[in-house]
Structure 1
C-alpha cells in the first residue's frame, strides 16, 4: 500500500456503493474502498478456489495472493466495471497453476459446511455426504480446464464469454469443455438421480 493512500472512511450515507465506484476510489488510494471490495468478493473467490483445488489451505493462499496482486495492479485495470471478471480470471488462472504444479492428488476434501438441510436427519446427512464424496471424486477426474469451466458456469453463474476471457480460450472451447464435464459428472452422479 502506498504512502499516499488515504485512510478516511467512505462518505457518510454511502453504505452500499457499486463495484465500479469502489474500484475507482481504491485506485485513488482509498484503502477502505478496497477493503469493501475484498469483503464483497473474497467469499465467491474462496469458494471457486476451494472447489478447484479441494484444499482449504491452498484455496486461502490463492485468494490472499489474488487480492494482493489485484491491489498492486489496480492501476493496470482498463475499466473499473471489469473488476469482478478480472478477479475471476486471476483466481482461475492461479488455481490452474497450482493444479499443474501438484503431484498427482490423492484424496480431496470439500467444505461440508455448505451442505444444509440434513441437520437432525442422520440418513439424509449420510446420503448428502456420499453425494459430495462422489461429486468431489468426479470433479477430480475432470481436466483442470474442464473443472474450471464447469465451476465458473454451474457454481458461479459466469457467462461463456466471461469464462473464455478468464481461461484464455474461445467460447466454443468453453462450451465443449463444459459439455464434456457435464457428461462425465452425469455418468458418475447417475445413482443419485
Structure 2
C-alpha cells in the first residue's frame, strides 16, 4: 500500500503526461491512489475477494478512461468515483451469485486471538457494526461508509455519487438513525454510533 501524497499541481502535471501516453506518469497516479481505492472497495464490498476484483476493475477503468478526465475535480476524487462504481458493479454481481452461509467474516471471527477483554470488545463491536451496515440499503450504506470509514467530505461524496450535497447529508443522517435502531441494546456500540452524530 502506498501512502505518499501528490500536490495538486504535480497531480495535474502527471495527469497531463498520462493523457499524452506517458506510462510512468500513469503508473505513479495509480500507485498514489491504490491504497485508498482498495480501502473504499474493501469497506463497500465487505470481503477481500470482491474488494480485489473491484479494485482491479477500478484500475482498469481508470486506465481506459484517463483521456476523459477533464479536471472538474481532483484526479483522486474522480478515481474514487470510478472505484465506487466498480465496487457497486461487483456487489450487484455478487447478489446474482448463490452465497454460501460460511463467510470470510465468520472465518476471521474463528481465527481471532483472544488477547484482552478490551480487544475482544473492540473486535466484537466492529463485527456488530459491520453486520448492521449490511442491513442498510445501498443508498444509505454507501454514503455512510464513504464519510465515516473512508474519511471523505460531503462535497467529495456528492461528486462520487452524483448526488446533491443535501441529499448526501440526509442519507448519512438516515443511515446513522437506522444503525442506531439495529444496534440498540448494545451500550458500547450505541456510544460509538452516537459519537458519529456530531459530524
Q: Secondary structure at the match of 1:142?
A: coil
Residue 64 of structure 1: which of 56, 59, 66 is its match?
Answer: 56
- For residue 135 of structure 1, what is the aligned residue in structure 2? 129
Distance in 1 separating the partners of 2:187 and 2:104: 21
Whichever structure has more helix as a proportion of its residues is 2
Residues 96 and 145 of structure 1 are in contact (CA less than 8 Å); yes or no, is this contact kept in structure 2? no
**Count of residue correspondences:** 172
1:95, distance to aligned residue in structure 2 (A):
1.8
Residues 43 and 149 of structure 2 are in contact (CA less than 8 Å); yes or no, is this contact kept in structure 1? no
Q: Secondary structure at the match of 1:134?
A: helix
**1:92-119 deviations in whole A, cap 9, x for unaligned?**
1222222233148655639x7xxxxxx9
Distance in 1 separating the partners of 2:20 and 2:142: 33
Which protein, 1 or 2, shows the higher relative CO under an 8 Å CA cutoff with sep ≥ 6?
A: 1
RMSD after superposition? 2.7
1:50, distance to aligned residue in structure 2 (A):
0.8
Is 1:191 the counterpart of 2:154? The answer is: no
- For residue 168 of structure 2, what is the aligned residue in structure 1? 174
The worse-fitting range, judged by mean Cα deviation, of 42-51 and 32-41 is 32-41
Q: How does 1:1-193 map to 2 (within 5 A)?
A: 18-79=10-71, 82-101=74-93, 102-103=95-96, 107=103, 109=105, 121-187=115-181, 188=183, 190-192=186-188, 193=191
Distance in 1 separating the partners of 2:170 and 2:72: 31
Residues 24 and 80 of structure 1 are in contact (CA less than 8 Å); yes or no, is this contact kept in structure 2? no
